[in-house]
């Protein structure tokens, strides 16, 4: 049964997928689909957020997500301010709360935050008047990534319902997996997750998925395979032996991909470790939609900003 879209978002913030209803997710995806059309125009800009200020507060390095938000903001005619932690007073020891309060004193309408620690956006959301958008917090959530992944699947398959989606890799340190499992299961997809058993956090099945250890089992008959980046920088040396062995047991290779449905989509949130979790022949192959994910990211972020600003109805009317 298709989910009826909500008429608007309930909260002032988007801190995660967890607080969203299926109807809100549906509305976000529907709106994002309309937003895609803006990019097709000769002048890729609508005035929806004219006069609104967005602060992109990135405490962790990011190119893809930050650029994607920036492009989305510009296409909606918002004024963007970029704040990278390395160039700020964070290095002088200022706390997150102080930084945020100082920024709020400049009266922004949105704060897009990427932070290495889980819960940081929630803390800001509670104390700030501005709408807080989580652009990734620690190993917790990355809601706009899950929305763009869902949009990509939906554009290819027409629906999320009943889709068998296998998400494979480093589950322990992945915020992408948490948001994706929550979103996809809420929208009626069948979600399988897997990875080295030493990187599967306890109770992950309670988010709405089945846990697999062998990659071959997870992939068998899947409609979508989503590979997660091995976060080499977050690993201690006891979690798995070597990158070489990782590739051997857990990488998406052309041979393994054959176990999935013939037209199975190959996805990756990026940045990829080629030759570690994904073979280049697959990443660049005909089933890969990895670059479409990036394109859809802009549309999804436009939709989030637009809806949080209180938008309804036809967003792209000039």
Whichever of 118 and 259 has its CB closer to other proteins, that residue is 118
183 binds other proteins (CB under 8 A): no
Q: Does 146 bind other proteins (CB under 8 A)?
A: no
Choose the binding region for other proteins from 28-36, 155-163, 200-208, 289-297 (rule: CB under 8 A): 200-208
Q: Does 313 bind other proteins (CB under 8 A)?
A: no
Q: What is the 3-state secondary structure (H, E, C) of the chain?
A: CCCCCCCCCCCCCECCCCCCCHHHHHHHHHHHHHHHHHHHCCCCCCCCCCCCEEEEEECCCCCHHHHHHHHHHHHCCCEEEEEEHHHCHHHHCCCHHHHHHHHHCCCCCEEEEEECCCCHHHHHHHHCCCEEEEEEECCCECHHHHHHHHHHHHHHHCCCCCCEEEEECCCCCCHHHHHHHHHHHHCCCEEEEECCHHHCCCCHHHHCCEEECCHHHHHCCCCEEEECCCCHHHCCCCCCCCHHHHHHHHCECHHHHCCCCCCCEEECCCCCCECCCECHHHHCCCCECHHHHHHHHHHHHHHHHHHHCCCCCCCCCC
Task: Output the smallest distance, CB 300 to other proteins, in A.
Answer: 21
- Least Å distance, CB 128 to other proteins, is 14
What residues contact residue 40 under an 8 Å CB cut-off, 6+ apart? Answer: none
Which range in 122-130, 211-219, 249-257, 270-278 contacts other proteins by CB under 8 A? 122-130
- Give yes or no for residue 192 binding other proteins (CB under 8 A): no
Among 75, 175, 186, 256, binds other proteins (CB under 8 A): 175
Interface with other proteins includes 93 (CB under 8 A)?
Answer: no
Enter the DSSP assignment of 234: G
> Least distance in Å: CB of 39 to other proteins?
32
Identified binder of other proteins from the candidate list 29, 207, 219, 252, rule CB under 8 A? 207
If one asks whether residue 237 binds other proteins (CB under 8 A), the answer comes out as: no
CB 267 within 8 A of CB 226: yes
Site string for other proteins, 239-278 (x = CB under 8 A): ----------------------------------------
Of the candidates 85, 96, 111, 303, which one interacts with other proteins according to CB under 8 A? 96
CB of 238 to other proteins, least distance (A): 9
Which position among 120, 147, 228, 304 is part of the footprint of other proteins (CB under 8 A)? Answer: 120
Residues from 6 through 25 that contact other proteins (CB under 8 A): 18
d(CA 42, CA 38): 9
Nearer to other proteins, 147 or 251 (CB): 147
Give contact residues for other proteins (rule: CB under 8 A). Answer: 18, 95-97, 115, 117-120, 122-123, 126, 137-141, 175, 178, 201-204, 206-207, 236
């Amino acid at each position: 049964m298709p989910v009826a879209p909500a008429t608007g978002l309930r909260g002032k913030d988007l801190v995660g997928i967890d607080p969203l209803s299926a109807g809100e997710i549906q509305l976000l995806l529907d709106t994002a689909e309309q937003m895609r059309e803006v990019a097709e125009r000769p002048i890729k800009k609508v005035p929806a957020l004219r006069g609104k200020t967005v602060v992109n507060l990135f405490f962790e390095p990011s190119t893809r997500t930050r650029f994607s938000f920036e492009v989305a903001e510009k296409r909606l005619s918002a004024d963007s301010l970029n704040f990278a932690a390395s160039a700020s007073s964070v290095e002088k020891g200022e706390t997150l709360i102080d930084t945020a309060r100082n920024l709020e004193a400049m009266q922004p309408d949105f704060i897009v935050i990427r932070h290495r620690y889980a819960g940081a956006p929630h803390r800001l959301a509670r104390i700030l008047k501005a709408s807080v958008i989580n652009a990734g917090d620690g190993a917790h959530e990355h809601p706009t990534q899950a929305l763009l992944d869902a949009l990509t699947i939906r554009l290819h398959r027409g629906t999320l319902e009943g889709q068998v989606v296998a998400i494979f890799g480093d589950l322990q340190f992945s915020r992408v997996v948490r948001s994706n499992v929550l979103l996809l299961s809420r929208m009626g997809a069948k979600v399988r997750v897997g990875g080295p058993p030493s990187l599967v956090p306890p109770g992950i099945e309670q988010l709405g998925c089945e846990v697999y250890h062998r990659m071959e089992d997870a992939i068998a008959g899947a409609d979508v395979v989503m590979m997660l980046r091995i976060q080499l920088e977050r690993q201690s040396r006891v979690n798995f032996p070597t990158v070489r062995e990782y590739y051997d047991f857990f990488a998406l290779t052309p041979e393994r991909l054959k176990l999935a449905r013939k037209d199975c989509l190959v996805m990756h949130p990026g940045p990829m470790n080629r030759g570690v979790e994904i073979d280049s022949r697959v990443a660049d192959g005909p089933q890969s939609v990895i670059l479409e994910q990036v394109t859809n990211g802009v549309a999804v972020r436009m939709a989030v900003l637009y809806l949080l600003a209180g938008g309804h109805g036809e967003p792209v009317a000039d």
